[in-house]
């Protein structure tokens, strides 16, 4: 058998990695298309089965707790075992089983089981880690020494993650249309089949994914620096300000985001209309990813964060004062203000530049944890308001939630702008002296 020279072997390995990346992109598209079939409609299904709005907030709280505790345990285990594909396959099976339960039995116990099974493993985290593993392996094979490598990885990940947004956008209206024709139970049976299909797909390509994600270079220096980082992370003032601003912002934002499908149904929106909400939201994520990246490259990460707050404040203003069942088209147009699309590239860029190479993952993990705690608080306050004011049955009931969210997000924006102004004044005084 003819032996390949080193150059030919490198080329062959790179071709294998590119093929693996394409296979992973296909899975990402279908995985998000599958999950949108039930994730945006599940609260409506619960609500139709005598689950109150206050109890829906309790369900949201449970999903966050599961995500913070169980999800982190599984993520850590996938790091130690170095086998993310297995956990992605496991997540497909758990989600399929959760749907089979909730199709036939809906009470507080089965809802809790559903929350545990669906949110115990984070598809988003595993896919992100797996993709970064593969492109880092590719750069190792290429022996690239590039200072802008982190920025290039982020741009490649954006192109990869967009396939998930497209899958979500396509699946939303299709699911809504099917619910109108066949009802919830038959429509929810479709993602059960799709989850088992994506499980089989991953099973068939598991060897390629596992081989592609193996990182052959271990750095003792990285481990040492991480220990130093743990003692100094909370001395980074800029990072602390970012955490606090996004913490306040997420408390306010999570209230409207948590019950948006139910609110849209109360307004009189059909299931197809609610699917179009998901379509518009996800489709606008794509250009906003690139817009945010462009703004960050030229003006830094602060402007996209301000824009993200403004997006939510505009939506709240319309929800409180303008939106009625007679202008549902306007409600749909508000979905173009996708906060995730404008914020995520800016936040990842900010953390990328606040910390050294070996500390970025820990910084991102801490940020995600703080945001999850903020969402927990937002849903907790939403639950209290829903109990106190007996929210549900009329779209006008929800305005108390939106007023609270508007006040909190205005506070967050005022705080962030105040910090920026103070910093500028200090710089002016320094330059004058």
Please provide the DSSP assignment of 20-57 as one string: HHHHHHHHHHHHHHHHHHHHTTHHHHHHHTT--HHHHH
pLDDT in tens, 82-126: 778 999 999 999 999 999 999 999 999 999 999 999 998 888 878
Query: What's the confidence (pLDDT) of residue 352?
Result: 66
For 5-21, letters b (16+ CB in 10 Å) and e give eeeeeeeebeeebeebb
Q: How many residues are recorded in the chain?
A: 433
- The residue among 236, 260, 368 whose CA lies nearest residue 312 is 260
Instruction: Round to whole Å and give the CA distance between 333 and 335.
Output: 5
- The residue among 280, 317, 308, 293 whose CA lies nearest residue 407 is 317
Query: What's the confidence (pLDDT) of residue 251?
Result: 94
Residue numbers of the chain with a pLDDT score lower than 50 = 1, 145, 216-234, 357-358
Query: What's the confidence (pLDDT) of residue 143?
Result: 60
The Cβ of residue 52 has, within 10 Å, a number of other Cβ atoms equal to 16
Q: Cα torsion for 139, 145, 150, 155, to the nearest 10°? A: -60
Cα Rg for the chain, rounded, in angstroms? 23
Coil, strand, or helix at residue 215?
coil
Instruction: Round to whole Å and give the CA distance between 246 and 206.
Output: 37
Query: What's the confidence (pLDDT) of residue 219?
Result: 39
- The residue among 420, 379, 77 whose CA lies nearest residue 242 is 420
Query: What's the confidence (pLDDT) of residue 235?
Result: 53
Query: What's the confidence (pLDDT) of residue 365?
Result: 67
Residue with tokens 């967050």: 412
- Ranges of each domain in the chain: 1-216, 218-433
- Can you identify the CATH homologous superfamily of domain 1-216? MFS general substrate transporter like domains (1.20.1250.20)
Q: Given this chain, do its domains 1-216 and 218-433 carry the same CATH topology?
A: yes
Question: 149-182 vs 6-39: helix axis angle to the nearest 10?
Answer: 40
Instruction: Round to whole Å and give the CA distance between 236 and 207.
Output: 41
Query: What's the confidence (pLDDT) of residue 332?
Result: 94
Query: What's the confidence (pLDDT) of residue 422?
Result: 87
Q: Are 62 and 112 a contacting pair, CB within 8 Å?
A: yes
Q: Which CATH architecture has domain 218-433?
A: Up-down Bundle (1.20)
Query: What's the confidence (pLDDT) of residue 273?
Result: 96
Instruction: Round to whole Å and give the CA distance between 296 and 290.
Output: 10
Residue with tokens 């220096």: 221
Query: What's the confidence (pLDDT) of residue 9?
Result: 67
């Amino acid at each position: 058998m003819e032996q390949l020279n080193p150059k030919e072997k490198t080329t062959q390995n790179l071709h294998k990695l590119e093929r693996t990346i394409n296979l992973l992109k296909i899975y990402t598209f279908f995985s998000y298309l599958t999950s949108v079939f039930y994730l945006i409609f599940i609260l409506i299904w619960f609500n139709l089965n005598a689950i109150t709005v206050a109890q829906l907030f309790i369900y949201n709280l449970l999903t966050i707790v599961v995500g913070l505790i169980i999800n982190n345990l599984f993520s850590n285990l996938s790091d130690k075992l170095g086998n993310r594909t297995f956990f992605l396959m496991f997540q497909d099976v758990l989600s399929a089983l959760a749907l089979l339960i909730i199709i036939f039995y809906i009470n507080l116990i089965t809802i809790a089981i559903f929350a545990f099974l669906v949110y115990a493993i984070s598809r988003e985290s595993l896919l992100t880690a797996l993709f970064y593993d593969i492109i880092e392996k590719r750069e190792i094979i290429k022996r690239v020494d590039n200072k802008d490598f982190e920025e290039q990885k982020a741009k490649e990940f954006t192109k990869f993650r967009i396939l998930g947004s497209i899958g979500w956008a396509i699946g939303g209206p299709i699911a809504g249309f099917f619910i109108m024709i066949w009802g919830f139970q038959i429509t929810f049976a479709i993602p059960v089949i799709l989850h088992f299909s994506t499980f089989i797909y991953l099973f068939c390509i598991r060897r390629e994914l596992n081989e592609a994600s193996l990182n052959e270079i271990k750095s003792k220096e990285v481990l040492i620096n991480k220990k130093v980082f743990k003692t100094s992370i909370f001395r980074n003032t800029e990072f602390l300000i970012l955490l606090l601003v996004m913490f306040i912002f997420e408390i306010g934002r999570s209230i409207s985001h948590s019950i948006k499908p139910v609110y849209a149904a109360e307004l009189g929106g059909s299931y197809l209309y609610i699917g179009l909400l998901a379509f518009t939201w996800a489709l606008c994520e794509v250009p906003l990813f690139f817009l945010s990246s462009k703004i960050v490259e030229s003006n830094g990460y602060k402007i996209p964060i301000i824009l993200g707050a403004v997006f939510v404040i505009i939506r709240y203003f319309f929800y409180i004062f303008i939106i009625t069942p007679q202008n549902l088209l306007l409600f749909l147009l508000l979905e173009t203000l996708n906060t995730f699309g404008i914020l995520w590239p800016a936040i990842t860029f900010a953390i990328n530049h606040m910390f050294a190479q070996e500390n970025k993952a820990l910084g991102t993990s801490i940020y995600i944890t703080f945001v999850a705690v903020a969402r927990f608080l937002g849903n907790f306050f939403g639950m209290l308001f829903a109990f106190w004011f007996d929210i549900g049955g009329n779209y006008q009931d929800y305005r108390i939630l939106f007023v609270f969210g508007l006040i909190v997000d205005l506070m967050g924006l005022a705080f962030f702008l105040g910090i920026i102004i103070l910093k500028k004044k200090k710089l002016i005084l320094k330059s004058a002296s």
